[in-house]
Structure 1
């Protein structure tokens, strides 16, 4: 079987994929929810859902650096990567071991496309069709609950030292838009620009969002930012704002609660 991944690369696959290495946490969770737990041979140390998977599966490294020898020993039939999570150099080296499928997720539709591709690759079309329909429905129903009014402007922090924001053209930006939030970082900036906190006020956000990942922001960091910003600062669960695949289903329930916290600002 030949399938084009989301970088439009031809990936040549065998008919019976019994051993998978996944180097992307959200994709690992999707595989599990598609009933492929027994086929997952290797994962990263950041693949935390479901929790028990790390106890029973070979850890082959992180998302930026892996132990190629461990992956080689697993003799995988396919290796799953992501353009943003993994590096081009890694993919080139991994292709010497097994076929590599690379995802590229910027939009909600990209996530649906990946689910559809996995359905075809792993013979799970009956499950992925239902997943896709449920996700479309969940998104539509959530957006119907959003009240009319101006879109709040937000600055979404993902890192400290240096302070780094999620910009436009990212999956985070897509989910902000689904929540009727306007990202203060527009297309003329990089995807993940750094910022000096003293310049934060000039971006004029209505609210600052501090993500739980990849940097684990806590209450103490709110105090740090409040020295430079007088507006509302909110801690958010980064998994629901950046993970795609099956994590999107519970994300819409989380967004409903999140919107209640923001309702007083609109």
Structure 2
């Protein structure tokens, strides 16, 4: 095969002599995407948070988490490429990994970014047809969901991702993009990324509070606790994977969102 070049989401041009055959993924959602693209046999290393598909951690080497990795384990796996994400992994990790091999960094904030990432993986790993099929399925499901949602009223939402301190999803996040898709007005969209909030003194007018299952695993007891701060607001536990995972997970998320709207 001839050499080829591709540019990642940080604008870094990578040159390849051949299609990468040994992949380490440090991004759980993108690990799932790699498997869905038919690349499971090429994955040699994953994080402890790469829980989909369920059996993957039994067969692949776990090299750490998303914020802390075992560099010796990674070196020993002799990877051709390491997949990272600007939000999930630290700049320090990415810079250290570059000393080992090629590091491809994604940055997914919009649905268009997500489609581009799938296409990039298709070109990067020689599975263009599979990537095209996934993008086509997601596009069809998106069109269907937009018809489902078009006459729904816009409702104000606060989406919590963390406790002690309480943190929410703001603008410039994939979560915010999917809230907008659902015609949810994010009351914290005037703040960037994941700001801390003081819910005891909050005067936000909110229709719904969403407590995510990740990264903080909110439970029913947290719903009760939150009720003390906003007794007039409906509070729901939501599946954080559906709102924050990139890649092929978006297809499942669109069905989940339909079910969520029926619960509200």
Q: Distance in 1 between the 2:17 and 2:262 partners?
A: 48
Q: Distance in 1 between the 2:257 and 2:150 partners?
A: 13
Contact conserved, 2:19 with 2:124, CA < 8 A, in 1? no
2:260 maps to what in 1?
A: 258
Q: Distance in 1 between the 2:86 and 2:186 partners?
A: 22
Structure 2 gap ranges (5+): none
Q: Distance in 2 between the 1:147 and 1:53 partners?
A: 38
| TM-score, normalised via structure 2 length | 0.96
Superposed counterparts of 1:70-109, under 5 Å: 70-109=73-112
Q: Distance in 1 between the 2:102 and 2:171 partners?
A: 31
1:241 maps to what in 2?
A: 243
* Deviation readout 1:6-48 (Å, 9 max, x if unpaired): 1111122231321000000000000001111110000000000
2:61 maps to what in 1?
A: 58
Please state if 1:135 is matched with 2:138.
yes
Please state if 1:5 is matched with 2:8.
yes
1:226 maps to what in 2?
A: 227
1:199 corresponds, among 198, 201, 209, to 201
Partner of 2:158, secondary structure, is strand
Counting matched residue pairs gives 260
Question: What is the alpha-carbon root mean square deviation over aligned residues?
Answer: 1.0
1:26 maps to what in 2?
A: 29
2:181 corresponds, among 178, 198, 203, to 178
Partner of 1:198, secondary structure, is helix
Q: Distance in 1 between the 2:192 and 2:150 partners?
A: 31
Please state if 1:214 is matched with 2:215.
yes
1:146 maps to what in 2?
A: 149
Partner of 1:227, secondary structure, is helix
Q: Distance in 1 between the 2:84 and 2:132 partners?
A: 22
Structure 1 gap ranges (5+): none
Q: Distance in 2 between the 1:190 and 1:235 partners?
A: 23
2:44 maps to what in 1?
A: 41
Shift of 1:149: 4.6
| TM-score, normalised via structure 1 length | 0.96
Contact conserved, 2:176 with 2:189, CA < 8 A, in 1? no
Partner of 2:248, secondary structure, is helix
* Deviation readout 1:71-99 (Å, 9 max, x if unpaired): 00000000000000001111111011110
Contact conserved, 2:19 with 2:126, CA < 8 A, in 1? no
Q: Distance in 2 between the 1:6 and 1:147 partners?
A: 31
Q: Distance in 2 between the 1:135 and 1:199 partners?
A: 41
Partner of 1:220, secondary structure, is helix
Partner of 1:80, secondary structure, is strand
